[in-house]
Amino acid sequence: MTEAASARALLPLGLFLALFLGAGIYFQAAGVEMAFYQLASPVAILPAIVLGVLLSKQPFEERINTFVGGVGDRNIVTMCMIYLLAGAFSTVAAATGGVDAMVALGLHIIPASFLLPGLFIIAAVVSTAMGTSMGTLAALAPVALGLGQAAGIDLPLLAGVLVSGAMFGDNLSIISDTTIAATRTQGCNMSDKFKANLKIALPAAAITILWLISYDTGAVPPKIPEANLWLSLPYFFIIVLAVMGLNVFAVLALGIILAAVFGMVTVDYEWIAFSQDIYAGFLSMQEIFLLSLLIGGLSALIRQQGGLKFLANSVGAVTKRLFKHQQQRAAFGVAGLTGLTNFAVANNTVTILLSGEVSKKLAEEGNLAPRQSASLLDIFACVVQGALPYGAQALLMGASFGLNPLEVSLHTGYCFILAGVAIAMIIWRKPLEGREAMTPSTP
């Protein structure tokens, strides 16, 4: 039975954030690269789980049952299975040359005078296809750095443009772990979330491109990597199927098979390599897989002790004072909760997992559609993540380009523009008309 609202129940969550953030600050001060990723999040959460168990008033056996029940929650397990398939697709497609094909395809059609907006578009397309901002940045950074140096482009600006494009895809991609987490926690269809998200992301991207066009990058012809452009088709295949509303398990399974078939036909990709790459893809999702399970258990303990009820009541009370419209209150509650959590955690997927249940409660109370709350969750997690100087994206680009991560984060214009567009849409138009918000959607 769930206890009354209690701030004390949030202490385990506070401990997790303190350990995760504290370790990152310590290593950052010590000059360690990727400082906020030195303490693995699945390890950082273990003391919090112990504290959650100790704080519970249930008999010990029931405390463990509550935790295990949270770990085995249907949404959590489904999310983890999707993570595995998404990791397998990304690894197989990259191994068969799909990433190089996507980069080459973009560079084939970009004129030199359009280099900055062109690189933003390439990063956006590749990230949307791959479902990972970090993988996109790792793939594009060497090419972009060479182009930037040859054209004499300001490197902090160039790094910020790449992070901006990567975060566009991280936010929008149907195989991104943030999308998976957002749709599963809010209980909506991926295609519905994609369409709702697109209405905010596309105007923000258009404004970003117009801003980038104002920079003069000269006429240095880009060096295009050798690649078989046909290998980019699996990426477009899964995007089209996802938008059509096909079940995500079917989309990813078909994407994996198609990427392998294209590889076998064009680059002599072997069956044994295919099986090994699938497993490597599974391993690439190990951290977020474990963390999702453990957060599911911790959330169950916090919920049972009244912590999530307290958090929802607190956020609801603040937004109620500030906004009169019911849906605006819910939308700003989701946005504010997500942004603050990501600021503390410096990981957008972890943020969504932590904020998801409370956000769903706020959305239900505010008559906000699940697809809208999922979209806002993902948007504001990615906005803050892209603009954080101690986020993985800024740290990676800082290391790749020899820059201070703060220089990178200050130039991630798309993230700031996306936040502005999202806030404007919440203020000047209703997120959803009438009672349509309460129409259930199938995950």
Matching residue, tokens 């706020």: 362
Q: How far is the C-alpha of 263 from the C-alpha of 267, rounded, in Å?
A: 5
Contact 418, 120 (CB under 8 A): no
> Coil, strand or helix: which one is 72?
coil
Domain of 312, in residue numbers: 305-428
Q: How far is the C-alpha of 138 from the C-alpha of 160, rounded, in Å?
A: 14
Max distance between CA atoms of the chain, in angstroms, equals 71
For residue 33, tell me if it sits in a domain.
no
For residue 77, tell me if it sits in a domain.
no
> Coil, strand or helix: which one is 432?
coil
Q: How many domains does the chain have?
A: 1
Q: How far is the C-alpha of 115 from the C-alpha of 119, rounded, in Å?
A: 6
Q: Which residues of 74-89 are buried (b: 16+ CB within 10 A; e: fewer)?
A: ebbebbbebbbbbbbb
The DSSP-derived string for 156-200 is HHHHHHHHHHHHHHHHH-TTSHHHHHHHHHHT--HHHHHHHHHHH
The whole-number average pLDDT for the span 270-299 is: 89
More confident residue, 125 or 442: 125
Matching residue, tokens 């972890």: 350
For residue 407, tell me if it sits in a domain.
yes
Q: What is the pLDDT of residues 47-104, one digit of tens each?
A: 999 999 999 999 999 999 999 998 988 778 877 887 788 788 878 888 888 777 876 7
pLDDT score for 260 = 93
Q: What is the pLDDT of residues 261-270, one digit of tens each?
A: 988 988 889 9
Distance of CA 199 to the CA centre of its chain: 17
**Closest by alpha carbon to 131, among 170, 167, 92?**
170
Q: How far is the C-alpha of 16 from the C-alpha of 44, rounded, in Å?
A: 6
For residue 273, tell me if it sits in a domain.
no
pLDDT score for 151 = 65
The whole-number average pLDDT for the span 389-402 is: 77
Which residues are within 8 A (CB) of 285 and not within 5 positions of it... i.e. 6 or more apart? 83, 84, 86, 87, 177
pLDDT score for 123 = 87
pLDDT of 437 above 50: no
pLDDT score for 112 = 65
**Closest by alpha carbon to 234, among 262, 203, 213, 266?**
262
**Helix runs in 285-306, H state only:** 286-304
Which residues are within 8 A (CB) of 414 and not within 5 positions of it... i.e. 6 or more apart? 120, 164, 165, 167, 168, 204, 205, 208, 386
pLDDT of 169 above 70: yes
Contact 225, 104 (CB under 8 A): yes
Give 224's pLDDT tier (boundaries 50, 70, 90): low
**Closest by alpha carbon to 354, among 185, 176, 183, 175?**
185
For residue 401, tell me if it sits in a domain.
yes
Contact 382, 170 (CB under 8 A): yes
**At how many degrees (to 10) do helices 177-186 and 348-365 cross?**
20
pLDDT score for 306 = 85
Indicate the DSSP class of residue 174. T
For residue 339, tell me if it sits in a domain.
yes
Contact 241, 67 (CB under 8 A): no
pLDDT score for 434 = 39
Give 176's pLDDT tier (boundaries 50, 70, 90): confident
> Coil, strand or helix: which one is 423?
helix
pLDDT score for 336 = 86
For residue 38, tell me if it sits in a domain.
no
pLDDT of 430 above 80: no
**Closest by alpha carbon to 222, among 278, 144, 165, 306?**
144
pTM of the model: 0.71
Q: How far is the C-alpha of 23 from the C-alpha of 38, rounded, in Å?
A: 8
Q: Which residues of 105-128 are buried (b: 16+ CB within 10 A; e: fewer)?
A: bbbeebeebbbbbbbbbbbbbbbb
Matching residue, tokens 């969550």: 13
pLDDT score for 440 = 40
- Token digits for 124? 């956006």
For residue 167, tell me if it sits in a domain.
no
